[in-house]
């Protein structure tokens, strides 16, 4: 069975589709699928042009991407849910309470994954082992300031704002990729 990572933002136009495409590249060698959705998305829209530009520059073929609204079944089926903000994390856990222990903001998860200890033995399910390692790190680290967990929305900004957002997404995803690699 393939594990699933779901990225969630507000409209599924900028942050979550960029995260989806960046994660697809970073996790290409792992048995993990990635998808995205928006808490307030209108189904079927194209990605924001600047987000499409960033995704394409990273090697993704993102022209066919279409937005989709968040549904409880997406959350239930996901092995890991990574949101852009704390507000969206709350919405996700309200829609699917069973996803509580595997739902984080993207920046929170990246910070915890960077501090987590890799499993001593290779795991049969590297993503679940990475989530368990992050949960242990969460229990021993002081919480960050609330603003440290939210990924700023670049909507209304320049192309450079979207690139900065994508860089922050990639910085948060690298520790996840490394932890999955160490666990597998």
In angstroms, the CA 101 to CA 118 distance is 19
Which is more confidently placed, 152 or 2? 152
**β-bridge pairing 3-9 and 80-83:** parallel
pLDDT bin (cut points 50, 70, 90) of residue 118 is confident
For 11-49, give the secondary structure using H, E and C. Answer: CCCCHHHHHHHHHHHHCCCCCEEEEEEECCCCCCCCCCH
Q: Which residues lie below 8 Å from residue 90, measured CB to CB, with a gap of 6+? A: none
Burial grade of 89 (CB within 10 A; 0-12, 13-18, 19 or more): buried
- Is a pLDDT exceeding 80 seen at residue 168? yes
- If you average pLDDT over residues 155-169, what whole number do you get? 97
In Å, the largest CA–CA distance within the chain is 46
* pTM, to two decimals: 0.96
Q: Is residue 20 predicted with pLDDT exceeding 90?
A: yes
Are 12 and 36 in contact, with CB atoms under 8 Å apart?
Answer: yes
How many percent of the chain have pLDDT more than 90?
A: 79
Q: Which residues pair with 5 in a beta bridge?
A: 34, 80
Residue 1 has pLDDT above 70, yes or no: no
pLDDT mean over 99-119:
94
Partner residues linked to 6 by β-bridges: 35, 81
Q: What pLDDT shows up at residue 29?
A: 87
Of the candidates 70, 77, 93, 59, the one whose C-alpha atom is nearest the C-alpha of residue 170 is 59
Q: What confidence category does residue 125 fall into, taking pLDDT thresholds of 50, 70 and 90?
A: confident
Cα-based angle 72, 60, 63 (whole degrees, multiple of 5): 75
Are 168 and 151 in contact by the 8 Å Cβ rule? The answer is yes
């Amino acid at each position: 069975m393939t594990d699933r990572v779901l990225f969630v933002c507000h409209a599924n136009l900028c942050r979550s589709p960029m995260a989806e495409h960046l994660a697809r590249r970073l996790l290409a060698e792992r048995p993990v699928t990635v998808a995205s959705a928006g808490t307030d998305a209108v189904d079927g829209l194209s990605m924001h042009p600047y987000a499409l530009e960033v995704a394409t520059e990273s090697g993704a073929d993102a022209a066919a991407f279409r937005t989709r609204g968040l549904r409880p079944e997406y959350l239930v089926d996901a092995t890991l849910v990574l949101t852009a903000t704390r507000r969206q994390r709350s919405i996700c856990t309200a829609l699917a309470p069973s996803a509580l222990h595997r739902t984080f903001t993207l920046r929170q998860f990246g910070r915890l994954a960077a501090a987590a200890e890799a499993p001593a033995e290779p795991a049969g399910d590297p993503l679940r082992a990475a989530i368990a390692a992050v949960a242990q790190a969460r229990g021993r680290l002081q919480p960050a300031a609330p603003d440290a967990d939210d990924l700023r929305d670049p909507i209304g900004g320049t192309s450079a704002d979207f690139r900065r957002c994508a860089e922050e997404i990639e910085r948060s995803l690298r520790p996840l990729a490394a932890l999955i690699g160490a666990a597998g």
